Each structure stands twice: as C-alpha cells, then as structure tokens.
Amino acid sequence: MKWYHAADGQAVGPVGEEDIQSLVKAKKIKAETLVWHSGMSDWQAYGDLKKDNFHIRPKATDITDTDAESLCSECGNSFSQEEMIRYGNSYVCADCKPAFVQKLKEGILPEDILKYAGFRIRSCAKFLDGFIITGGTVLLAAVFGIISSSGSGGSYVFQKILPYMQPVSMVIVIIYETWFVGRFGATPGKMICRIKVVTADGGRVSYLRAFGRYFATFLSGIILCIGYIMAAFDGQKRALHDRICSTRVIRK
C-alpha cells in the first residue's frame, strides 16, 4: 500500500509503509502531520490513526515480539515498546516522560483512563446545586425582609432594592458556577457527588471556559433539556454544553 504525507503544504509520495516508519522515527512525520492512502476516505493526522485502527505496522517478517512498536500518547511518534513507559493503555517515549509525569502530578489523566460521570450522578449534582442556590436566595430575601420591617424607612429601602434582587441573584449564580468550576473543577453539588469538570484531555478548566460553559447550559435547557439528556447516550457522557466548550465530567 502506498502512502502520502503532507510537507510544507504539499503532498509527498507515494512511499511505502517502511518509508513512513523511517520518517516517523526521524521525526519528519509527527502526530499532527496529515497522511493518506487509497483506503482512507480523507487525510488524517498521523497521531489519530491508531485510534481508528489505521496505524501503520512494520511487516511481521521484519519484527519479533520484543520489537513491538507503539505510538507515544504525547508526541504521536512510533517507538519500540521496550524504550517506552506504560501507563494504563498509554505508552510514553523517553523524551516525553518528564512532561507526562508532571501532568500526572497535576492531576491531568490520559484520556483513555478518564472515568466519565453518567447522567444520573450529574442530575443529582445539578439538583444539589439548585438546592444550595435556592437556599442562598431565600436567605438573602429574608435578610432584606428583616431590614424592611425594622426601623423607619426600612420599607422604602426594601422597595428600592426589590427590582434589583433578580439581577443580583443571577450574578451570584454566575459567580458561583464560574468560580467553583474554575478554582476547584466542581461546584459544591459536584463535590458532594465526587465528580468534576475537566478539559477533553483531563486538564483543569480555566475561569473563562467555566464562564462560557455556564452560559452554554442555557442552550442545553431551552431545547426541552435535550442538551442535558444527550449525556445519557453519549459515549463520553457529554451534554450539549460539554460539546460546545470541549469539557468532560468525570468521577474523582
């Protein structure tokens, strides 16, 4: 089978499978390099081929069991398994090992060992957050009620403040969602259920992404909550807002 690869915006080839392997080892073909052969419907990044079972293997006559090769989960290049470390189903080359270990120390897990949180546990966390927020809103309203009933002019103050209660409550909810998810990866409801929000590769969610994710939940809700229900049928348990913001919800 003849292969083509992209270099400087041009298609290079055709070349044989052995030539592709040589280019990979020489790091001239990397994880992001586009490759194609006649059996593929479109060009794909070399690093994605393994997941689709299109990855190139040397001929069986050229290798022994001890010479088995795998793609590094970090850089996407091919190496002998004897020269790599294994973590779960992932292999990491010697050059990428320090960065990989640092990610593990920071709590960033390889995608293939993430344990995605299902629809029911996520619904439970959502209910708990709603209960907490509602309780806080009622408490806030009670405080203003006490102010309005105490002393002269209290009622006048309450009437002035009342129109701003709803906008203030909404701001509180935005801060609640953004700060907790950006700071801890989880709101109090999610903490209780032992789940957290992460990026697609298991990394920490930024405050900006957490802010955008909160508003994306409106889209999940206004279409008869179908955006939420999607999590029950998605392979990675993604709701619509997870797809929009490229996030995942996992079990701790």
Instruction: For residue 65, name the pLDDT band (cuts at 50, 70, 90).
Output: very low
Instruction: Could you list the beta-strand ranges (E) of the chain.
Output: 3-7, 10-15, 34-37, 44-45, 69-71, 78-80, 85-87, 90-92, 195-199, 247-251
- Of the listed ranges 66-75, 86-95, 185-194, the one predicted with least confidence: 66-75
Is the predicted pLDDT of residue 53 greater than 70, yes or no?
Answer: no
Q: Residue 201's beta-bridge partner residues? A: none
168 located within any domain = yes
Instruction: For residue 55, name the pLDDT band (cuts at 50, 70, 90).
Output: very low
Regarding whether 126 and 99 lie in a shared domain, the answer is no
Place of tokens 């790599």: 84
3-state helix, strand, coil in the chain (%, to 5): 50, 15, 35
CA distance 225 to 240: 10
Which of 84, 108, 132 marks a domain boundary?
Answer: 108
114 located within any domain = no
Regarding whether 180 and 72 lie in a shared domain, the answer is no
Is the predicted pLDDT of residue 127 greater than 50, yes or no?
Answer: yes
Regarding whether 214 and 174 lie in a shared domain, the answer is yes
Regarding whether 99 and 14 lie in a shared domain, the answer is yes
Is the predicted pLDDT of residue 44 greater than 80, yes or no?
Answer: no
Which of 46, 81, 108 marks a domain boundary?
Answer: 108
pLDDT at 243: 94
Which of 108, 131, 147 marks a domain boundary?
Answer: 108
More confident residue, 28 or 216: 216
pLDDT at 186: 95
Cα torsion angle, 32, 103, 73, 20, sign: positive
* Domain enclosing residue 98, as ranges: 3-108
At 225 the three-state DSSP class reads coil
Regarding whether 70 and 152 lie in a shared domain, the answer is no
Question: How many CB atoms are located within 10 Å of the residue 238 CB?
Answer: 21
113 located within any domain = no
- As a whole number, the mean pLDDT across the chain is 79
Place of tokens 């439970």: 124
pLDDT at 196: 94
Regarding whether 123 and 104 lie in a shared domain, the answer is no
Concatenating the DSSP letter of every residue in 85-126 gives EEETTEEE-TTTHHHHHHHHHTT---GGG--B--HHHHHHHH
H or E stretch at 241:
helix 240-245
Is the predicted pLDDT of residue 52 greater than 60, yes or no?
Answer: no
pLDDT at 56: 45
8 located within any domain = yes
Report the domain count for the chain: 2
Regarding whether 243 and 124 lie in a shared domain, the answer is yes
Regarding whether 99 and 125 lie in a shared domain, the answer is no
Instruction: For residue 107, name the pLDDT band (cuts at 50, 70, 90).
Output: low
102 located within any domain = yes
pLDDT at 174: 94
CA distance 37 to 235: 29
Let me know: does 158 contact 147? Beta carbons within 8 Å. yes
Regarding whether 135 and 101 lie in a shared domain, the answer is no
Helix/strand number for the chain, H first, E second: 9, 10
Regarding whether 142 and 94 lie in a shared domain, the answer is no
Regarding whether 57 and 88 lie in a shared domain, the answer is yes
What is the mean predicted confidence (pLDDT) over 26-52? 72
Regarding whether 128 and 25 lie in a shared domain, the answer is no
pLDDT at 54: 44
Instruction: For residue 1, name the pLDDT band (cuts at 50, 70, 90).
Output: low
